[in-house]
Structure formats: C-alpha cells, structure tokens
Amino acid sequence: MSWNRRHVLSLADFSPAEYDTVLQTASSFREVLTRRTKKVPTLQGQVVANLFFEPSTRTRSSFELAAKRLSADTLNFAASTSSLTKGETILDTAKTYLAMGTDMMVIRHKEAGVPQAIADEMDRLNVKVGVLNAGDGQHEHPSQALLDLFTICSLINVEKPRSALLTGKKVAIVGDILHSRVARSNIWSLTASGAEVHLAAPPTLLPKAFAAFVKDSNPEISRQLFIHWTLEPALIDADFVMTLRLQKERMTSHLLPSLREYHQQFGITRDRLKLCKPGVRVLHPGPVNRGVEISSDLMDDPVLSLISQQVTSGVAVRMALLYLMGGGKVG
Ligand code: NCD
C-alpha cells in the first residue's frame, strides 16, 4: 500500500501499489455506505470545493456526496452563474475559494490542463491544497477510470478488489475514443493492471496518430494495447466491454455518416455480446445516448450491464480519493 500524492491529475504515472491503495480504501468506504449512518467524521472541518466549469450530473453529485459522507463542508460552483461571466479568470476564481479556506478543489473544465494549472498555482503559493481532476477536455478523467477499475475488480473478487485480478483479462473499449478523456485514463489503469486493452472505433474516431501517440508516451504498454477499426475482433473473447458516449458536442463535423449507421457498425447489442466470453459485462461512463452506442434493453439489463454499479462505486472511490489526498492513513 502506498500513497504520497497531494493532487490527482492523471493516471499516466500511477503505480500498481497506488491503484491497490485506492481499491482497498474504496472497499472500506463501500462498507461504510451500507451502514445505517452512512457517514464518517474523517474530513470534519475541511472544505471541499467542486469547481465545475463544464456541465455534469453524476460526477459533480458523486463528489459532493462523497465529501459529505466524509463530513467535509462542500462548496458548489457552476460556471454559468459565477463571476466568470463578469470576466474573472479561472485562477482568480480558484484563489477566491482558497481565501475562504478550501482544502481540496475538484475541477472539471473543457480545456485540457486547467486542473494542472490550478495545482501548479497552489504549489507555487505553498498552500497545501489538493487538486483533483474531474475531467479536463480530451485529456483525462482519473476518478472515472478508478471507479471503473473498482467496479470490475469487485465483480471478480468483492472481498479483496485489487488490480492484479485483471492480469490477462481482455477489455474492449468501443466508441468515440478520439474525444474521450475516459478512454485515455482507462488505457493507463487497465494496462497497468495487466489487462489487454482493445480499442474499436471508426478511423475518424480512432486515428492512427492517436494509437501512435499513446504507445509513444508509454512504450511498455505496446504489447497490451490493440487497435481495431471494426468491432468484431475487439469483442471476440472479451471479458469486459466498455462503451463510450458519442460526444456530439465535440464532433465538429463529418466524422460519422449517421447515428443509425454508427449503431449498425459499432453499437453494442445482446447479439453482438455472443462473441465475447460467457459472463461478459458491459460498462458505460454515462451519459448514454440510448440506442446509439448501446441498445436500450442491454443498458437496462440488471446482469449484463454494470452501469448502475459504476455510479454506486463512484461514491466510494471518490471518498477514497478525498480521504487519501487529505492525508488519511493508508492500510
Ligand atoms: C464522461 C465525461 O464527462 O467525461 N462522463 C462522466 O464523467 N461520467 C463521459 C462523457 O461525457 O461522455
């Protein structure tokens, strides 16, 4: 077990020991969430600010609930009703929250690198404020990949979820990979855990340059990362299928002929899952375009779909991250 991070900005340099620390800590918080009083005093008196400069339902609410379950005071900020509309800069917004005594900032922004810039500023000011990246542009979404890892590992061993359980497992990630920070963070966590990761998308949503870039930035994962421009090879014998939302708001134009055609070629359906291993499970980070990336009935299937479990896992995993960043004891 190991942890010495003040900030969680990316999973690119996470070690297996750090993944296990998050998984085990989340596991003990999952137990707290089954009690009658689902709350612990761990972060009493501390302030967690949720600075979401981009829309979000589940991630923002999940962080808010996680902070509240740890007894922290929470501040919520929504860009559209903030002083940003009066021309305040993002760094000045962060410093305003700092001046109120914020201990941790959870940040989402449509531009990659904003959480890092705020973390750098906090370090420069030497104020010991932790910054957590809740999704920055097309870069990373570490807490989502960690909750995905926790969901998958818990399915394999609910008592002792740990990253080595994924050794040799095949995980297909299907969909709008080009625009997906979720896919990027998952590539790091899944390959570090020993899984084989198969990416599948049309070439416009999975350019050759993307694969080359990922492999160049970490040559060690080359043997575990596979690229497919058709769906079948990714699905054959897969243990888990991770579908991604088609990010229409980020698709400038002409990347797809039509949503119907996309569903025909890359949509995940019960029938297509027959190519996978028996016992396969499907994940989706949400929000879902029903009937586009995944068929509506499959999404609602209580056995095959892990989508609700992912949301539930999210609270325990985010409690673990806030606890660890706040200096909580490990192990
Ligand atoms: C994702 C996000 O916003 O990055 N959703 C989430 O956080 N659960 C994925 C998406 O928007 O498609």
CATH code at position 60? 3.40.50.1370
Tell whether 109 and 245 lie within a shared domain: no
Q: How far apart are CA 233 and CA 67, in angstroms?
A: 41
- In terms of domains, do 106 and 220 share one? no
Residue 100 falls within a domain, yes or no? yes
Same structural domain, 321 and 302: no
Mention every residue, 6+ apart, whose C-beta is less than 8 A from residue 230.
200, 265
Within this chain, do residues 294 and 159 fall inside the same structural domain, yes or no? yes
How many angstroms is it from 286 CA to the middle of ligand 1?
6
Report the distance separating Cα 24 and Cα 265, nearest Å: 38
Could you read off the pLDDT tens digit of each residue along the chain, which spans 331 residues? 789 999 999 999 999 999 999 999 999 999 999 999 999 999 999 999 999 998 888 999 999 999 999 999 999 987 777 777 677 789 999 999 999 999 999 999 999 999 999 999 999 999 999 999 999 999 999 999 999 999 999 999 999 999 999 999 999 999 999 999 999 999 999 999 999 999 999 999 998 888 888 888 888 888 899 999 999 999 999 999 999 998 877 666 677 778 888 999 999 999 999 999 999 999 999 999 999 999 999 999 999 999 999 999 999 999 999 999 998 777 6
267 lines ligand 1 (CB under 6 A): no
Judge if 133 and 147 occupy the same domain: no
Q: Position 331: which residue type?
A: G
Structurally, the chain folds into a number of domains equal to: 2
Q: Determine whether the shortest distance from the Cβ of 58 to ligand 1 is under 6 A.
A: yes
- pLDDT computed for residue 278 by the predictor: 97
- The reply to whether 254 and 315 lie within a common domain is no
Q: What is the pTM of this model?
A: 0.96
* Domain encompassing residue 110: 16-140+311-325
147 and 290 share one domain: yes
Ligand 1 atom at minimum distance from 59 CA = 7
Q: CB neighbours of 31 closer than 8 A, spacing ≥ 6?
A: none
154 and 222: one domain? yes
* 288 & 151 share domain: yes
Q: Do residues 286 and 151 touch, judged by C-beta distance below 8 A?
A: no
